């Protein structure tokens, strides 16, 4: 069966410019809205799970391990820029297959132990699938950046049925978040050409932030009468399933991935 022609067909001018009909523009707009809607719903699913864990912790343990939660869905402009930068085909199927951080959420915790505890509780849920994990806390980046990045897949139930939506989740402490925010601003100001002395100062600041995290966690454990921080064993995370790299700032810090929230 022949494919029906559009109501107002697209034409090519003598200069090679392509004109698109109003009908085609409306169809593209509607398809883009449906595409982004799925990621917005996936983000809401993760936010709901985090909210439940936070409220349950407060009620059961009289303690809230979450200091702050921020989230975003990539803007169309940001999505197009990444598609072009990575050389991905522009159809929605290719974008869905190749880009896993369209929806992103950042969870700022009080202490490093809370980061891993929250990760474990979230990923232990039977409808959450771990696609990829990058543990920059156990293995910091050369510039000092620390954070736990995970791509998680959650189900979304639409009128047309169940779909699986990937969501990038970043876990970090207050000190890690403060450092990453400052580093991102510096690299933005210098357009990635940061003087060497500033880079050295940033690395020193990252080391200081790590020391502060460790000291504050020891104090916290002492106050609550729990095991000393030195008793915490190295956390083993699941091996990554996908090779998709989360969004990164010019330094590879990953902070730019959620900078628009």
Beta bridge partners of 73: 103
Question: Measured between alpha carbons, how far is 2 from 4 in angstroms, rounded to an integer?
Answer: 6
* CB-based contacts of 59, cutoff 8 Å, min separation 6: none
The structure tokens listed for 134 are: 């990058």
Question: Measured between alpha carbons, how far is 151 from 68 in angstroms, rounded to an integer?
Answer: 19
Catalytic residue annotation: 168
DSSP string for residues in the chain: -PPPPPSS--EE-TTSPEE--HHHHHHHHHHHHHHHHHHHHHHHHHHHHHHHHHHHHHHHHS---EEEEEEEE--HHHHHHHHHHHT--SSHHHHHHH---SEEEEEEESSHHHHHHHHHHHHTSTT-EEEEEEETTTS--TT----EEEEEEEEEEETTEEEEEEEEEEEEEHHHHHHHHHHHHHHHHTTT---HHHHHHHHHHHHHHHHHHHHHHHHHHHHHT---GGGPPPPP-PPPS--PPPP--TTS-SGGGGTT-
């Amino acid at each position: 069966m022949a494919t029906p022609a559009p109501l107002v067909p697209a034409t090519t001018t003598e200069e090679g410019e392509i004109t698109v009909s109003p009908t085609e523009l409306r169809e593209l707009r509607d398809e883009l809205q449906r595409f982004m809607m799925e990621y917005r719903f996936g983000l809401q699913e993760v936010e709901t799970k985090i909210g439940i864990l936070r409220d349950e912790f407060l009620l059961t343990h009289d303690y809230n391990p979450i200091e702050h939660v921020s989230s975003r869905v990539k803007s169309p402009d940001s999505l197009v820029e990444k598609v072009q930068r990575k050389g991905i085909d522009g159809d929605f199927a290719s974008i869905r297959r190749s880009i896993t951080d369209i929806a992103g959420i950042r969870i700022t915790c009080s202490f490093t132990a809370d980061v891993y505890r929250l990760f474990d509780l979230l990923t232990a849920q039977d409808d959450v699938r771990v696609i990829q994990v990058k543990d920059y806390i156990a293995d910091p980046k050369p510039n000092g950046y620390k954070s736990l990045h995970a791509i998680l897949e959650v189900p979304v139930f639409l009128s047309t049925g169940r779909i699986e939506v990937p969501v990038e989740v970043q876990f970090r402490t207050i000190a890690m978040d403060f450092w990453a925010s400052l580093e991102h601003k510096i690299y933005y100001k210098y357009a990635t050409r940061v003087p060497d002395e500033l880079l050295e100062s940033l690395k020193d600041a990252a080391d200081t932030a790590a020391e502060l995290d460790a000291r504050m966690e020891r104090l916290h454990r002492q106050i609550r009468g729990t095991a000393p921080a030195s008793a915490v064993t190295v956390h083993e995370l699941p091996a990554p399933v996908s090779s998709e790299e989360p969004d990164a700032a010019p330094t590879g810090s990953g902070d730019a991935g959620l900078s628009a929230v």
